[in-house]
């Protein structure tokens, strides 16, 4: 019997030392130390033994149980420590890895140009005004010396909403609104950036919705030279001192004289390309001296007050500045295009 117990001890210790995991170790504990285990079996037979043998078998059985139990406990601690070490190794955080950068948006190139132009004019003493995009015919045309039926209305193909209201075709109605609000008293020095709408066919340089910046300066001593100086300052600040401009005589019913201002194309530098349609020039704004009729209709004494006005095409400025070939890029929301202007 004692032999059997010693043999069980050896077997159990061998199995415990080779056990691969905690589950298998628990199986071994049940196998050797459980109620139906071999040591318990030996102990059950002790009642048939003589007292001497019973005593020694009892003692040895308890010793063997204690040794196996101790060994299982030691192995369990070792396996648990191993499992924790493995888990820690797997969950290691490399604090030296660079973090994930959040995607940071960019200011739309058109908005950036508008902000730049606004700052430029604010620095020259202008204030910024706003006007409605759905406008009365009265402000968009009539107060600008364009009565109903005037042929020059055809210069700006319009989206009418009713007979009397439309999507404004230019930012010039803000001139009329500002003059009326001033109640015949100058000086005035404002700009008004905003969206305008025309039934133009979309192409590389035309869009049915685009952005203008209106300017209006009224005072008692304003001349065409002030207009020219202001436009030169604008073009030099925006495009650099090497860009050339040309003033072409033009016609707007609300200014007299009127000019259109072109800048040398930034893509071809004047030699002619697809952006400038081979001319070497891109038209960026219309301007002129405010027509006396416009001043009078809005309550200003045109003998006392004169002034100039201009309407800049903001997309054209952005295109020239960044060499953008197609105005439609501003409106198609292609992130690959927008992300270039960080």
With beta carbons less than 8 A apart as the criterion, state whether 282 and 276 touch: yes
Contacts (Cβ under 8 Å, ≥6 apart) of 179: 188, 216, 218, 294, 295, 298, 299, 300
Which of 12, 38, 315, 318 contacts ligand FA5 by CB under 6 A?
315
**Is 126 among the residues that bind ligand FA5 (CB under 6 A)?**
no
Residue from 37, 131, 173, 286 binding ligand FA5 (CB under 6 A): 286
Chain centroid to Cα 271, Å, comes to: 36
Task: Compute the least distance from the CB of residue 105 to ligand FA5, in Å.
Answer: 25
Q: Reduced to 3 states, what is the DSSP secondary structure of residue 14?
A: helix
287 touches ligand FA5 by CB under 6 A: yes
The nearest distance, CB 287 to ligand FA5, in angstroms, is 5
> What residues contact 88, with CB distance under 8 A and at least 6 apart?
none
Task: Show the site string, 143-162: x = touches ligand FA5 by CB under 6 A, - = not.
Answer: -------------x------
The verdict on 131 binding ligand FA5 (CB under 6 A) reads no
Binding segment for ligand FA5 (CB under 6 A), chosen from 19-27, 101-109, 225-233, 279-287, is 279-287
**Which H or E run contains 29?**
helix 22-33
- Coil, strand, or helix at residue 49? coil
Nearest-CA neighbor of 191 among 284, 114, 112, 283?
A: 114
Question: What is the pattern of x (binds ligand FA5, CB under 6 A) and - over residues 236-265?
Answer: ----------------x--x----------
Nearer to ligand FA5, 255 or 329 (CB): 255
What backbone torsions phi and psi does residue 294 show, to the nearest 5 degrees? -65, -45
Tell me if 121 contacts ligand FA5 by CB under 6 A. no
Looking at 94-102, 110-118, 267-275, 307-315, which segment touches ligand FA5 (CB under 6 A)? 307-315
Q: Residue 252 in 3-state DSSP?
A: strand
SS3 of 120, please? helix
Q: Which residues bind ligand FA5 (CB under 6 A)?
A: 156, 170, 172, 198, 200, 206-207, 210, 212, 252, 255, 283-288, 309-311, 313, 315-316, 327
């Amino acid at each position: 019997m004692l032999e059997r117990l010693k043999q069980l001890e050896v077997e159990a210790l061998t199995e415990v030392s080779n056990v691969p995991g905690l589950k298998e170790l628990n199986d071994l504990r049940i196998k050797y130390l459980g109620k139906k285990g071999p040591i318990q079996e030996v102990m059950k037979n002790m009642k048939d033994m003589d007292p001497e043998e019973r005593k020694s078998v009892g003692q040895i059985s308890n010793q063997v149980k204690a040794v196996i139990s101790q060994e299982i406990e030691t192995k369990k601690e070792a396996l648990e420590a191993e499992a924790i070490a493995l888990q820690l190794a797997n969950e290691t955080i490399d604090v030296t890895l660079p973090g994930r950068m959040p995607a940071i948006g960019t200011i739309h190139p058109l908005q950036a140009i508008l902000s730049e132009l606004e700052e430029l004019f604010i620095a020259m003493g202008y204030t910024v005004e706003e006007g409605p995009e759905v406008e009365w015919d009265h402000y968009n045309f009539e107060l600008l010396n364009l009565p109903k039926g005037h042929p020059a209305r055809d210069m700006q193909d319009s989206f009418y909403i009713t007979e009397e209201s439309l999507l404004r075709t230019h930012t010039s109605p803000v001139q009329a609104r500002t003059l009326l609000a001033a109640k015949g008293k100058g000086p005035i020095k404002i700009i008004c950036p905003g969206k305008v709408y025309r039934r133009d066919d979309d192409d590389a340089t035309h869009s049915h919705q685009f952005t203008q910046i209106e300017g209006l300066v009224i005072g008692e001593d304003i001349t065409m030279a002030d207009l020219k100086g202001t436009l030169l300052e604008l073009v030099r600040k925006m495009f650099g001192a090497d860009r050339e401009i040309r003033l072409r005589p033009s016609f707007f019913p609300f200014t007299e004289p009127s000019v259109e201002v072109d800048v040398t194309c930034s893509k071809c530098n004047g030699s002619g390309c697809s952006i400038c349609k081979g001319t070497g020039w891109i038209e960026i704004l219309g301007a002129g001296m405010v027509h006396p009729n416009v001043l009078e209709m809005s309550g200003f004494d045109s003998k006392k007050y004169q002034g100039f006005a201009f309407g800049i095409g903001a997309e054209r400025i952005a295109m020239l500045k960044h060499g953008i070939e197609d105005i439609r890029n501003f409106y198609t929301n292609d992130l690959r295009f927008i992300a270039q202007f960080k």
